[in-house]
């Protein structure tokens, strides 16, 4: 029996489907994650390029959009053990150019923006509040890294009662193995994995519904 067999035998990995109202969440597309000398690598830059499309489609149908990024205080004492485990994270202070949102996928007026000090986009932010006040029950998730902050957000999204849709073309990791394992693992327990094409098609149906 392979690893996958036991998940299938125990009926893991059923499909969630999209709920009544969706939003887009973009995670940690910061300058420092575009370079493999810093926090980047593998397919993160591809994910950023694809997220330009995702954001354009979402904004076209007035879908709510949220952005989070990682910021530590000077010295990084505020991120606790996370900074001991990954010391370079302490460098991502507000005034470090590596902390800035990548321009092509940066927030525009009216979009929710939060700074976080840990992996999950929900931890120590008011993301869940913005979600509730917008009646959102489904999240299209883009960002990096797939096995780190994207995964943490998807797990928390499920815990908060949301339907996490990880947009496969719009999430990236610094290494291939973790990227692929995370997508498989998320699909078994917490999230649906969708292609960018599928998400854009869904958004077009919303647009037609509005136009009708």
Among 95, 97, 103, 110, binds a second copy (CB under 8 A): 110
d(CA 132, CA 17) in angstroms, rounded, equals: 19
Is 144 among the residues known to form the active site? no
Q: What are phi and psi of 26, to 5 degrees?
A: -115, 125
d(CA 48, CA 27) in angstroms, rounded, equals: 10
Which residues, numbered 53-92, are part of the site for a second copy (CB under 8 A)?
73-75, 77-78, 80-82, 84-88
* Window of 12-20, 52-60, 96-104, 200-208 that interacts with a second copy by CB under 8 A: 12-20
- Which helix (H) or strand (E) segment holds residue 141: the answer is strand 138-144
Find out whether 105 and 58 touch, Cβ atoms under 8 Å. Answer: no
State the residue for tokens 């990024």: 69
Which residues, numbered 14-33, are part of the site for a second copy (CB under 8 A)?
14, 16-17, 19-21
* Window of 23-31, 50-58, 150-158, 197-205 that interacts with a second copy by CB under 8 A: 150-158
Among 46, 62, 189, 204, binds a second copy (CB under 8 A): 189
CB 53 to a second copy: min, Å: 25
Query: Terminal CA-to-CA distance of the chain, rounded, Å?
Result: 51
Which residues are known to be catalytic?
Answer: 149
């Amino acid at each position: 029996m392979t690893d996958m067999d036991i998940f299938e035998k125990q009926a893991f990995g059923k499909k969630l489907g999209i709920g009544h109202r969706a939003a887009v969440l973009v995670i940690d597309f910061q300058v420092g994650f575009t370079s493999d000398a810093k926090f980047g690598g593998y397919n993160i830059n591809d994910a950023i390029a694809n997220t330009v499309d995702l954001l354009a489609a979402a904004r076209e149908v007035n879908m709510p959009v949220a952005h989070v990024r990682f910021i530590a205080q000077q010295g990084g004492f505020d991120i606790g053990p996370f900074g001991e485990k990954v010391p370079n994270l302490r460098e991502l202070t507000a005034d470090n150019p590596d902390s800035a949102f990548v321009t092509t996928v940066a927030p525009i007026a009216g979009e929710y923006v939060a700074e976080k000090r840990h992996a999950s986009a929900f931890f120590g932010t008011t993301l869940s509040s913005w979600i509730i006040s917008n009646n959102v029950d489904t999240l299209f998730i883009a960002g990096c890294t797939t096995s780190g902050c994207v995964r943490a957000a998807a797990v928390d999204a499920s815990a908060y009662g949301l339907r996490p849709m990880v947009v496969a073309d719009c999430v990236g990791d610094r290494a291939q193995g973790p990227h692929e394992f995370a997508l498989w693992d998320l699909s078994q327990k917490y999230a649906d994995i969708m292609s960018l094409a599928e998400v854009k098609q869904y958004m077009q149906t919303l647009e037609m519904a509005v136009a009708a």
